[in-house]
Amino acid sequence: MVDIAVMGHGVVGSGVVELLIKNHDSIEKKTGGIGINVKYILDLRDFTGTPYDEKFTKSFDDILNDDSVKIVVEVMGGCHPAYEYAMACMNRGKCVVTSNKELVAQFGYQLLAAARDNNVSFLFEASVGGGIPIIRPLHQCLAANEISEIAGILNGTSNYILTKMFKEGADFASALAEAQRLGYAERNPAADVEGMDTCRKICILASLSFGKHIYPDAVETVGITGITKTDVAYAERWGGTIKLIGRAKMLENGKVFIRTSPAVLRYGSQLAGVDDVFNGILVRGDAIGDCVFYGKGAGKMPTASAVVADVIDQTKHIGRIPKRVFWGPAEDGWVESADRCAEKQMVRAAFSAPGMAEKQVSDTFGDVDYIHISGRPENELCFVTSEISYGKLSELKSVLENEAVRVESCIPIFEC
Ligand code: HSE
């Protein structure tokens, strides 16, 4: 029998305890006969009427000072005190399992170093992709590959909202409220819809794939709040759809391109059909080629599934060599400046002199492909540029704006 503690009894934490109880017998078989006993549940709130009321504590020290507790599950969210608690547990020889992407994206390097120094494990499968196995596949099953690119729909809430709004006609507020009711959204859903959650997850995947820590504040991040029905209509006319994508790519100069933003995806491409709360993650390796992971990216039980899998894995390794995941620190300038990274862009703009519009576009952007939709205002043009760096794009936008053109949107085309 191994004693564990679960810190946090919110959506994911309660799912972890329920799953460990519900599947107790089959889990015990998978650990080779070692039962998993939840000895403590840490939460500052009062919970009564659960089948396990006696396990609740408000004191972290109860967990820290109990040497029988070998594995601590951190599902509180946020960086503090999660970071201090995780560090303290590992310094006392306890393994830590977390679903906390903010924590891993911000402090992964320090936490993994502490795990190594204390000869314990720090596991975080649930931090990306909810129930989808992605962390372990990346560092174990795909370990033979040089990973050149990783890209994904990584936020269930915003994908759910985009699907409800643009396929089913829902408005933003009601789609978000439903995502909150279903337990998909963050406590502060701005992190979902403004792209920070996707940014944290692509930082974790990129750090793991490329071996050096990438911090969220180094990543250009745009969310879904500016996406309009008009943009989606143009994307559909072009033959695609718009999704919030986190992507990271090794460049030929040895630096990393990393970005979170809405992107236009061609229908039939590998991530375009990923809807609702589902996530899809494309990994490009030199041996495997493209490999796509798909499943529920948020929600109580899918996320609990990943957390409990880490607990089971760790239970099997009690008293043996710890599970080892590691990445190093990054030198300054390892993340390529967004200004120097190039992509095709779908640009939509309103022109003050419609008769001159196409000339203004070609004088500024050169050859472009126009997208036409009947019934749109005469002074509006939407077009797809050739590959252009973000630095050049903002320069050309300013040129148009100085000619009294209103640039309504620029959305990169993501070909995968
Ligand atoms: N709020 C997150 C999402 C939860 O919607 O994807 C899972 O990380």
* Structure confidence at residue 147 (pLDDT): 98
Specify whether 323 is catalytic: no
Condensed to tens digits (0 to 9), the pLDDT of residues 27-44 reads: 999 999 999 999 999 999
Res 160 pLDDT > 90: yes
* Structure confidence at residue 320 (pLDDT): 84
Backbone torsion region of residue 392, taken as left when φ is above 0, otherwise alpha when ψ lies between -120 and 50, otherwise beta: alpha
| Rounded-to-integer distance, Cα 368 and Cα 347, Å | 10
* Structure confidence at residue 108 (pLDDT): 98
* Structure confidence at residue 388 (pLDDT): 97
| Rounded-to-integer distance, Cα 180 and Cα 53, Å | 26
Q: How far is the CA of 46 from the centre of ligand 1 (A)?
A: 25
Mutate to test the pocket of ligand 1, among 102, 197, 301, 303 (most ligand atoms within 8 A of CB): 197
Residue 131 is classified by DSSP as: T
Main-chain dihedrals φ then ψ at residue 213, nearest 5 degrees: -70, 130
Res 55 pLDDT > 90: yes
The model's confidence at residue 295, banded by pLDDT at 50, 70 and 90, is very high
> pTM for the full model?
0.98
Q: Identify the helix (H) or strand (E) that includes residue 240.
A: strand 240-250
Instruction: Please state the rounded mean pLDDT for residues 154-182.
Output: 96
Res 322 pLDDT > 90: no
Instruction: Please state the rounded mean pLDDT for residues 297-314.
Output: 98
The model's confidence at residue 319, banded by pLDDT at 50, 70 and 90, is confident
Res 13 pLDDT > 90: yes
Q: Write down the mean pLDDT value for the chain.
A: 97
Q: How far is the CA of 309 from the centre of ligand 1 (A)?
A: 18
Q: How far is the CA of 297 from the centre of ligand 1 (A)?
A: 6
* Structure confidence at residue 42 (pLDDT): 98
Residue of 70, 94, 101, 201 marked catalytic: 201
Condensed to tens digits (0 to 9), the pLDDT of residues 326-341 reads: 999 988 899 999 899 9
Instruction: Please state the rounded mean pLDDT for residues 370-398.
Output: 97
Q: How far is the CA of 202 from the centre of ligand 1 (A)?
A: 13
Q: Return the ligand 1 atom nearest residue 297 CA.
A: 6
Instruction: Please state the rounded mean pLDDT for residues 93-112.
Output: 98
| Rounded-to-integer distance, Cα 120 and Cα 90, Å | 7
Q: Identify the helix (H) or strand (E) that includes residue 389.
A: strand 388-389
Instruction: Please state the rounded mean pLDDT for residues 191-219.
Output: 97
* Structure confidence at residue 338 (pLDDT): 87
Torsion of CA 303, 79, 155, 382, to 10 degrees: 180
Instruction: Please state the rounded mean pLDDT for residues 166-178.
Output: 94
* Structure confidence at residue 416 (pLDDT): 86
Percent of the chain with pLDDT over 70: 100
Q: Return the ligand 1 atom nearest residue 99 CA.
A: 8
Res 281 pLDDT > 90: yes
